[in-house]
Structure 1
Amino acid sequence: MEPREIHAEYLGAMLARDADRFADLFALDGVFEAPLVPPGGAIPRRVAGREEIRKALTDHYRRSTAVLREVNKERSRRILHTTSDPEVFIAELDVVFGSPCDGPDDAAVMSLVQIFRTRQGHITLMRDYFTAEATASSS
């Protein structure tokens, strides 16, 4: 899969809160990191291995009591950057929450940067840079 396809699948899995679909994007030895999440946060800072990623996300979704907010896809922004290394790409996201009818003052925005390293169409390392406050208000 190409970077755009990998990232589209990743976003679909996240929006659907589908831990199986999310984990299947990773290589067997893939690693998920969220370096800005404090130790003991709602999601682990680092999870290694496809099955451990599956378990961590399943547990997170099961524990999460936050109300899911609608993602306004029309107002959200996604930019993918390829690099000189064909196995690495970077995603910039501004995710806007709220219905398309909400005014600018009603919407909440979560900005994040993601770095993906891939091999043969699977994620080997994904670093997701966002603040812990964002997960508390939007997950």
Structure 2
Amino acid sequence: MNDRGAMTATSREIVERLLRAGRDLDVDTFVDLMAPDGYIEWPYRPPGVPGRLRGRAEIRRHLTAVAKGFIRFDEYRDQVIHETTDAEVIIVEYEARGVVVATGAPFHQTVIAAIRVQNGQILSYRDYINPLPLIEARAAPAQATEH
């Protein structure tokens, strides 16, 4: 794709690339899709997960740590992408499926995210995850080592 083609990507296409990079733990692609001052928010999160990451450097640090292996995602099921009346705003829904690396236990999480794309980059990514599976996955290795 030439530079002109890259500039004409729709908000939906940018979000599809972001989701693919997130699933594949492709930190470089994910960060490159973020605006320099873009942010990721988790309004509902387990203890220890930051509420907001702002800027590419902060997002890269966090995603690099995550990519080292707490959870490995295998697929996003039942993915639905909703385009809104605001061309910048995309709502996504999906079921994240994978494995808790430390235990090999299956991991399933429901996600709904509101994403704002401006000038071909992600300005905001509000990730409304269900925090309960993460809380349970974090507790499982600790419980296993107590016995």
TM interval, short-chain normalised: 0.7 to 0.9
Corresponding position: 1:27 with 2:35: yes
- What secondary structure, in the 3-state scheme, does the structure 1 residue paired with 2:23 have? helix
Within-5 A mapping of 1:53-132: 53-62=59-68, 64-66=69-71, 68=72, 70-71=74-75, 76-97=77-98, 109-132=108-131
Contact 2:98 2:107 survives alignment (8 Å):
yes
Could you list the structure 1 runs, at least 4 aligned residues long, displaced by more than 6 angstroms after superposition.
none
- What secondary structure, in the 3-state scheme, does the structure 1 residue paired with 2:94 have? strand
Structure 2: tracts of 5 or more residues without a match: 1-8, 100-105, 138-147
Q: 1:133 to 1:87 in 2, by over 3 A?
A: same
Shift of 1:48: 0.4
2:107 and 2:45 map into 1 onto residues whose CA distance is 19
Q: 1:82 to 1:55 in 2, by over 3 A?
A: same
Identity of counterpart residues, as a percentage? 33
The structure carrying a bigger strand percent of its residues is 2
Q: 1:96 to 1:17 in 2, by over 3 A?
A: closer
- What secondary structure, in the 3-state scheme, does the structure 1 residue paired with 2:74 have? coil
TM-score by length of 2: 0.71
Shift of 1:45: 2.0
Contact 2:46 2:132 survives alignment (8 Å):
no
User: Which structure would you say has the larger Rg?
Assistant: 2
1:51 and 1:108 map into 2 onto residues whose CA distance is 28
2:97 and 2:32 map into 1 onto residues whose CA distance is 26
Q: Deviations over 1:10-60 (max 9, x none)?
A: 12211221211111111000011111113423xx22100112111111122
TM-score by length of 1: 0.75
Equivalent of 2:56 in 36, 44, 50: 50
Cross-structure match for 1:38: 46
1:26 and 1:91 map into 2 onto residues whose CA distance is 17
Contact 1:38 1:45 survives alignment (8 Å):
no
Cross-structure match for 2:6: none
Structure 1: tracts of 5 or more residues without a match: 99-106
The structure carrying a bigger helix percent of its residues is 2
